[in-house]
Structure 1
């Protein structure tokens, strides 16, 4: 492809798409930002009342403090995925996906533009839940940089995964099936509510092949300073997984797979 008249990168188009994706969830912030915060608070409240007093310490901290980073990352995962997947599926169902495909945007620009909304929503939700943890639970952050890196990686990975799911799905019920049978189990069964040391050896081995486990474990290390695996290993696995999913998104955007009539 030769040099486009507005340069190698269409900065105006990229900014416009990114701004649209961010404004989509900001326009309904009570649903996209406040609701996840309430859900996280309910999880913490219920587990604290039902299990917290009798569970004892996990990884050297009270159970609720062990639980909080997992719930934070679970919330990031679900919201980052929902942002990109809902945007593309709605456009496909309504038949206006062509309005995004027709402008002079390269596959990479489409990918980054859509992901910008998912990453922004994931980070905003993480900040809201983080403030809740700091104020209500009185928790500190052991390694802020690690925590931030894994939050951003988690939001990027699930944003890209949301694009893959939305390109593949043609109807809302197909998207709901992917969410209910893949994304929700991944977020619940990756160490969110427990240390994988409690799992049988075979399940521990299987869990170590799940990138979401490393995201949750990495954020837990960043917040409480303890984890089931090395954060460096988690960083490598999550970065590689994110890169692989982004490459698939780029390829599908380039080919127009399940997007062009």
Structure 2
């Protein structure tokens, strides 16, 4: 029989190595997970950073250079200055989504999910680590894209708060959507379906290339229910000083969506849905 005096408070023999207890936030694990996500996309920067920038420049060539004389100014703003912020935001949205979604889907397919399930990381820490890693890729791509489009569009700064708020919140929001999509997807075909049939249509139909007041009803009203509209419209307003919608409403909608998605990611990580089974 085991001597009860040799047992610790966890009911395990005192001589055996005991699991480490973390009170509060596991900062070491959280930092490690974050840098893992950042290094993951940085190692293939030609694919994850340079390629999206080239795609954005191709859009600029097609919509701005080729159609320069055929497109009149929009509300006193040249077409190049109008469309450039939308293209930058589109790059932020797509890359923040892709980082978290591909990371989790790949981990499940290759059986490497234990790399972040085995360490003592709470559901909240997993949510923060993956979301911040995705947001970092989105912001990096957005900054590089903005620098590269400057020769085509003279972008000014009309509202720095709007640029920072909608740029950062959009990357976080799409990172968490990517987390949910990655946990749901069982193969990369599922992930492509979300990208092609949900993310891309919502991005293109949110006023990226046109002011929504050019649309007939009921499409103008429907556009105001598209959360991507507020992200792109608010981000563009930070550069040109004019918004098609209400900036306070855009700030409120984006903040509420971010909190709601954070709670959803936390609940899914906590349940282990399609991750531990």
Coarse TM-score class (shorter-chain normalised): over 0.9
2:150 to 134, 141, 165: 134
Q: Determine if contact 1:150/1:218 at 8 Å carries over to the other structure.
A: yes
Distance in 1 separating the partners of 2:258 and 2:173: 5
Q: Is residue 2:94 matched to residue 1:83?
A: no
Shift of 1:22: 0.5
Q: How far 1:139 sits from its partner (Å)?
A: 2.1
Please tell me whether the aligned partners of residues 134 and 140 of structure 1 are also in contact (alpha carbons under 8 angstroms): no
**1:75-98 alpha-carbon deviations (Å, 9 max, x no partner):** 100000000000000001111112
In the alignment, does 2:267 pair up with 1:251?
A: yes
Q: CA RMSD in A?
A: 1.2
TM-aligned CA deviation for residue 135 of structure 1: 4.1
Equivalent position SS for 1:6: coil
Larger radius of gyration: 2
User: Structure 2 length as normaliser, TM-score?
Assistant: 0.90
Where structure 2 has 5 or more consecutive residues not aligned to the other structure, the ranges are 1-19
Larger CA deviation: 46-55 vs 70-79: 46-55
Specify the alignment match of 1:185 in structure 2.
201
Q: 3-state DSSP class of the match of 1:60?
A: coil
- Compute the TM-score of the two structures, normalised by the length of structure 1: 0.96
Query: Is 1:38 aligned to residue 54 of structure 2?
Result: yes
Preserved contact between residue 168 and residue 258 of structure 1 (Cα < 8 Å): yes
CA distance in 1, matches of 2:169, 2:90: 13
Match for residue 9 of structure 1 among 25, 45, 60: 25
Q: Which runs of 4+ in 1 moved over 6 A?
A: none
Deviations 1:53-84 (A, max 9, x none): 12111121111110001101011000000000
List aligned pairs for 1:1-261, cutoff 5 A.
5-261=21-277
Measured in 2, the distance between the counterparts of 1:188 and 1:117 equals 25
Higher relative helix content: 1
**Residues 126-182 of structure 1: CA distance to partner in whole angstroms, max 9, x if unpaired?**
111221233442321211221111010110110000011111111111111111111
SS at match of 1:54: coil
Moved more, 156-165 or 201-210: 201-210
> Which moved further from structure 2: 128-137 or 243-252?
128-137
Secondary structure class of the residue paired with 1:52: coil
1:234 & 1:55 partners in 2: Cα distance?
28
Aligned length: 258
Q: Structure 1: which 5+ runs fail to align?
A: none
Work out the CA distance in 1 between the residues paired with 2:249 and 2:148. Answer: 29
Deviations 1:195-230 (A, max 9, x none): 100112211111111111100001110011111011
